[in-house]
Amino acid sequence: QVQLVESGGGLVQAGGSLRLSCAASGRTFSRYDMGWFRQAPGKEREFVARISWRGGSTYYGDSVKGRFTVSRDNAKNTVYLQMNSLKPEDTAVYYCAADRGLGFSQGYWGQGTQVTVSS
């Protein structure tokens, strides 16, 4: 069992930056690919970023490419999402998730952290 706790959300002006953190409990964190997703009010959940278990491979949703960077520190059981050049359309609840080999939909999820970007 892995528990995930996101932090770092908040209110920021357009063009600003935030760094989200996702702290994981459990000794198996380093075995899992990790992902970030977001969901805005009235919209479906959207894939944001993914990082492989060793951190060697990263993938991004088209809407965040070139602005967001995902990273992880397995020694600290933490995955990060650095968000730069934020836009009002980035406003959403951001979730981290762990893929235990069955896809994210059947993995472990955090409770989410709110990011609000003002124009």
Q: What CA–CA distance (Å, rounded) separates 18 from 91?
A: 12
In 2-33, which positions are buried (b, 16+ CB within 10 angstroms) versus exposed (e)? bebebebbeebeeeeebebbbbbeeeebbebb
- Token pair 């060697």: residue: 56
Do residues 115 and 94 lie in contact, with contact meaning Cβ atoms separated by under 8 Å?
yes
Contact criterion met (CB below 8 Å) for 88 and 26? no
Residue 27 CA neighbour count, 13 Å, CB half: 0
* 8-state DSSP, 86: -
State the pLDDT at residue 45.
97
Report the pLDDT value the prediction gives residue 40, as an integer from 0 to 100.
97
Q: What average pLDDT values come out for the chain (119 residues) when binned by 10 residues?
A: 94 98 88 96 97 94 98 95 98 96 92 97
Model pLDDT, residue 29: 84
Q: Which pLDDT belongs to residue 55? A: 85
Amino acid at position 17, single letter: S
